[in-house]
Amino acid sequence: MPDVVSLIHVKRDNRRPLTDAEIGWLFAAYAGGEVADEQMAALLMAIYFNGLDGAELRAWTGAMIASGERLNLAAAAVDAAGRPRPSVDKHSTGGVGDKVSLVVAPLVASCGAVVPMISGRGLGHTGGTLDKLESIPGWRASLGNQELTAALTKVGAVIAAAGSGLAPADRRLYALRDVTGTVESIPLIASSIMSKKIAEGTQALVLDVKTGSGAFMRDQARATQLARTMVALGAEHHVRTRALVTRMDTPLGRAVGNALEVEEAVKALTGEGPDDLMEVTFALAEHMLELAGINASPDEEIASGRAFDTYQRMIRAQGGDPDAPLPAARHVRDALLAPETGWITGLDALAVGIAAWRLGAGRARKEDDVSHTAGVRCLAKPGDRVRRGQPILELHADDESRFAPAAEALEAAGTVTIGSAPPPRTPLVVSVISAADVADEGGT
């Protein structure tokens, strides 16, 4: 029988891959209290430095899935007339102003798919989908399995928090990674994301892996590596998976912050979304529909009003009132004055994200509260012409004392760059990675 100290030595010294049996024993022993948190933390650090190969990662992810329950979406896979509906989900690695989930879930559901979107909360400068939706009066993130299935059957789309029974090992491991400096490990990130997505029972999955200054994976090569790793895991666990690597150097859309982003998502669903937000949304929706085997036009769903109607029904199914006014900040102030007249050529997503976080839109620790009203509105973005002294951003906060630290984050050199001509048009989708692209690869 294995013992955890021996397994730590094996990974620390990079002697050989761990076997399926050793990984299975490890997770069972950790759940049973035979392996202490400090021992698991030591093993995570060894993995951080030495990685997991393809077989190890497959077994590691499988053990995380097996630590809890798997949702059965069979009851939701037919419509009211008894016709089959394919299931497909989308996951983003997080960015600044990334409210795509709020738009794409009802949009794809209105085309005839079931979209069981298990989402998370924000941490640091990246926003969380659940935090955004909780700015809607009455809306609930936590649904029991029966509630979730009923909502999917009725509406076709749900955006909810992961239940306590879904990959519970991931919650324990993430808490350890968060306090031991082992978050930025590609195999550990991939297994964390994919264990929950596979356990939710979806048949297909499209991943939006962000790269750039406002992304978790700033380096494009590492973002691509993460995307390929997750696509391979999906294929190995019989989930049709595809990844889009997309740019996150500039905030997506013009709103950053919870209620502000909901407001912009509603505009997107009614045909008034910013071009960059719609570019990413339509790209993801089209790949989701392709994997689901549905021939439909996302822009027609928006133009007809069907996507917005599905959004309203999705919000009501989770206790929210989509017609209620969204909360608004008590204080609004202009910020980041244009240093000269010209065309904006750059607006740093990280600086804007940190400013929104300091205004109260984000959290430093998972247990922190967030402000639904705080955030940043981009009055001008790359491609817009501005005059010297013109405000580029608008800050929203309930506490005026938060304006100074937010402005400090924005005053750093390079937050905004001005040129004598508009910047060249650069597609936001960097690359698309399919299962065929990674079929013959090993692990990380």
Catalytic residue among 170, 208, 249, 348: 170
pLDDT, one tens digit for every residue, the chain (444 residues)? 789 999 999 999 999 999 999 999 999 999 999 999 999 999 999 999 999 999 999 999 999 999 999 888 876 776 666 778 899 999 999 899 999 999 999 999 999 999 999 998 876 677 789 999 999 999 999 999 889 989 999 999 999 998 888 889 998 998 899 889 898 899 999 999 999 999 999 999 999 999 999 998 999 999 999 999 999 999 999 999 999 999 999 999 999 999 999 999 999 999 999 999 999 999 999 999 999 999 999 999 999 999 999 999 999 999 999 999 999 999 999 999 999 999 999 999 999 999 999 999 987 776 678 899 999 999 999 999 999 999 999 999 999 999 999 999 998 778 999 999 999 999 999 999 999 999 855 444
- 396 catalytic? Reply is no
- 420 catalytic? Reply is no
How far, CA to CA in Å, does 392 sit from each of 330, 333, 335, 397, 402?
20, 11, 7, 17, 18
What's the CA gap between 373 and 359, in Å, rounded? 9
Catalytic residue among 192, 195, 213, 371: 192
What's the CA gap between 417 and 394, in Å, rounded? 17
Axis-axis angle for helices 186-199, 54-66 (nearest 10): 40
Catalytic residue among 58, 85, 90, 91: 91
Catalytic residue among 85, 177, 228, 377: 177
Per-residue tokens: 98:
């990334």
- 170 catalytic? Reply is yes
Residue 90's DSSP bridge partners are 206
Residue with tokens 């984050």, as numbered in its chain: 409
Domains present along the chain, CATH in parentheses: 4-66 (1.20.970.10), 74-324+430-438 (3.40.1030.10), 331-419 (3.90.1170.30)
Q: What is the DSSP string of 337-368?
A: E-SSSEEEEEE-HHHHHHHHIIIIIS-SSTT-
Calculate ∠ Cα 264-362-173, nearest 5°. Answer: 120
